[in-house]
Amino acid sequence: MPVSPKLLTLENMTEYPLSELFSGKLYRFCQAKGSGRFRGKFRKERLTPAGGGYYDRQWKRQGRTTPAERTMKMEFDRRWLDPDKAGAELAARAAEIAADPELLAECFGGELEFGTAGLRGILDAGTARMNRLTVGKATQGLARVLLEDHDCPGVAIAYDSRHFSREFAEEAAGILAANGVHVWIYPELMPTPALSYAVRELGCQSGIMITASHNPPEYNGYKVYDHTGGQIVSEFARRVSEAIASVDPFDGVRRSILSPRFQAYKGTNEIGG
């Protein structure tokens, strides 16, 4: 039998994800139980104030943190609002996001996950979005792993025509160079096979391709390749992911203090330049 809807109170509203708040009412799509024509189909159900949704109960039995709990325990890092730390554009955008609870939960309610395909996400401010700080955090983590395995590692970088691809590529180049990693970067946009060729031809230990492949234009991505020119394997991805998790995006990333553009990055070369 369906649960009779009950009104929410201010005391129990914080149990649910902000993204599910619509005009003071909470709904979820869940699988209908019982018999009849709705059995096994998905229906929209209004939640009870006790947080008694079927999937929330299942997750709690398994000892997992529900999406509601993750969202409401989120702590907003106010350094995102500091132009000196986040940059003027990101800080201004973060201030806009902070004023919108639903958008705040979407952009800062988690972090981009790094896997064998690297990072991929919507371009915007926030820990769960692709931006200069998340790219910097990922690059610092990659640099740590490479320096653990090699005395003088080399990395080739390429980028496509997506929004901010060149900026992210240059950001990665500067961070790697600041960490003592030798970097080669293409002076113009290139397809992914060109990056694989550069990794093998130059004898690099890794490669970075700034692209989101077939995803919509509001996305961008950060793909990492190994010394063979192919995408990294799961074990290496796990090590990089753990290294990224330990990096503070503001104070834990080494960045070049020199002026921008390729010639400013010490130890950076242009491929074909």
Q: Which residues are catalytic?
A: 213
Closest CA to 137 of 180, 166, 168, 167: 168
For residue 123, the cross-strand partners are 130
Q: What are phi and psi of 67, to 5 degrees?
A: -55, -35
- The answer to whether 152 and 184 have CB atoms below 8 angstroms apart is no
**Cβ atoms within 10 A of the Cβ of 266, count?**
12
Cα–Cα distance between 78 and 91 in angstroms, integer? 9
State the DSSP H helix or E strand holding residue 80, giving kind and residue range, or none if neither. none
> Which residue carries 């958008």 as its tokens?
103
Residue with tokens 């009849």: 36
| Intra-chain end-to-end CA distance of the chain, in Å | 70
Question: Is the Cα torsion angle 13, 17, 21, 27 positive or negative in sign?
Answer: negative
Amino acid at 175: I
Q: For the chain, how many residues are written?
A: 273
Residue 211: both structure tokens together = 């692209």
* 53: CB partners within 8 A, 6+ apart: 28, 30, 45, 47
